[in-house]
Structure 1
Amino acid sequence: MNSNQLKENEYSPFYKNYITILGDVNLLEILNDSLENLMNTLKDLPEEKLQYRYEEGKWTIKELIQHIIDAERVLSYRALRFARNDTTDLQGFDEDWYVNNSNGNSRDFNELLNEFSLIRKATISLFKSFSNEMLINAGSANGNNMSVRALGFIIAGHQIHHLNIIKEKYL
């Protein structure tokens, strides 16, 4: 499954940047490659970098990683529900609320990276388990149509987007 197979009606316009940032890629390959890229980029950062905010009100690197973890859990849950033909309109989530209530800055950074790695590996397993028919199933999240396969690409693109911000603004 490649990202060029997606149609724009399979995801909300809000997520378009997360799709286009990927280029033409295979879903399982980009999920795996982006995991390795994040781990290799962040594994040896000093503590002062982890607590740095490049601007008042912006998240720290620890908070960003916690956000990526939380978002991946939510998006994977949506993919599971839609793959199982659940047509319930799922609610959105307030990312700022989640970060403010995450305790991310108090966590050990290696534990955060380990948790991200485990979540991503579970996401890869989940998407491997979907048949081609399941991947094109769709549902509604926050009032927007979303396909299962689009959610997979959004997960990867969201993580890459935030890793690019880390590289540009924090490192």
Structure 2
Amino acid sequence: MISKKEYAPYFKQYMQLVDIENVTILENLESSQKEFESLLRNIAKEKHIFSYAEGKWTLKELIQHIIDTERVFCYRALSFARNDKTSLPGLDQDIFVENDNANDRDYYDLLDEMEVLRKSSIQLYKSFSDEALLRIGVASNNKMSVRALGYLFSGHQIHHLNIVKERYL
């Protein structure tokens, strides 16, 4: 069971979307990616650059955000698992989105990139020992365990899939 001390209070909104008690990190990573693929591969082309309100991200930008966030979190997980005690910086998602050129990219290339990235994340987590999963590091001035990050990948992805279902379709 993951302690609330293993992640910042902000991340509770994502952690509560995954079954931490009965489902492994790897199973969560695989199932959330399958749901992601199932929903997003079949969305009509006119929705690819749709934004549900002024100033909100397009669907392409949302997918790129999930990709960028998982990459940053993978680096954090790797650093913490390797017992690097360096405090890592935060992530300003708005700056990332402003500079990601997602709307100029092919929608299906974004989905393919996410699929490859998730496979890489799964392999990364397969490489971690039980001891490494329990290691804790600091990012954005908050403590976070390697295993909490693993569940966070899925929770973050599910959070955004829920938004897609509610506001983009």
Matches of 1:33 and 1:116, distance apart in 2: 14
Matches of 1:93 and 1:7, distance apart in 2: 23
Question: Equivalent residue for 1:61?
Answer: 59
Question: Equivalent residue for 1:13?
Answer: 9
Question: What is the CA distance between 1:44 and its match in structure 2?
Answer: 2.0
Matches of 2:56 and 2:75, distance apart in 1: 27
* Matched AA of 1:98: F
TM-score of the aligned structures, taking structure 1 as reference length: 0.96
Q: SS at 2:90's partner residue?
A: coil
List aligned pairs for 1:38-117, cutoff 5 A.
38-117=36-115
Runs (5+) with no aligned partner, structure 1: none
Question: What is the CA distance between 1:146 and its match in structure 2?
Answer: 0.4
Matches of 2:85 and 2:12, distance apart in 1: 22
Q: Identify which of 28, 31, 34 aligns with 2:32.
A: 34
**How many residues were matched structurally?**
167
TM-score of the aligned structures, taking structure 2 as reference length: 0.97
Question: What is the CA distance between 1:117 and its match in structure 2?
Answer: 0.2
Matches of 2:52 and 2:125, distance apart in 1: 35
Runs (5+) with no aligned partner, structure 2: none
Q: SS at 2:144's partner residue?
A: strand
* Matched AA of 1:20: Q
- The percentage of aligned residue pairs carrying the same residue is 52
| Alignment partner of 1:22 is 2:22 | no
* Matched AA of 2:55: G
Matches of 1:51 and 1:6, distance apart in 2: 38
Matches of 1:148 and 1:98, distance apart in 2: 23
Q: SS at 2:83's partner residue?
A: coil
Once superposed, what is the RMSD of the aligned Cα atoms? 0.7
Question: Equivalent residue for 1:130?
Answer: 128
* Matched AA of 1:21: L
Matches of 1:44 and 1:22, distance apart in 2: 24
Matches of 2:168 and 2:140, distance apart in 1: 31
Q: What whole-Å deviation, never above 9, does each CA across 1:34-78 have from its counterpart, x for those lacking one?
A: 111111111122221111111110001100000000000000100
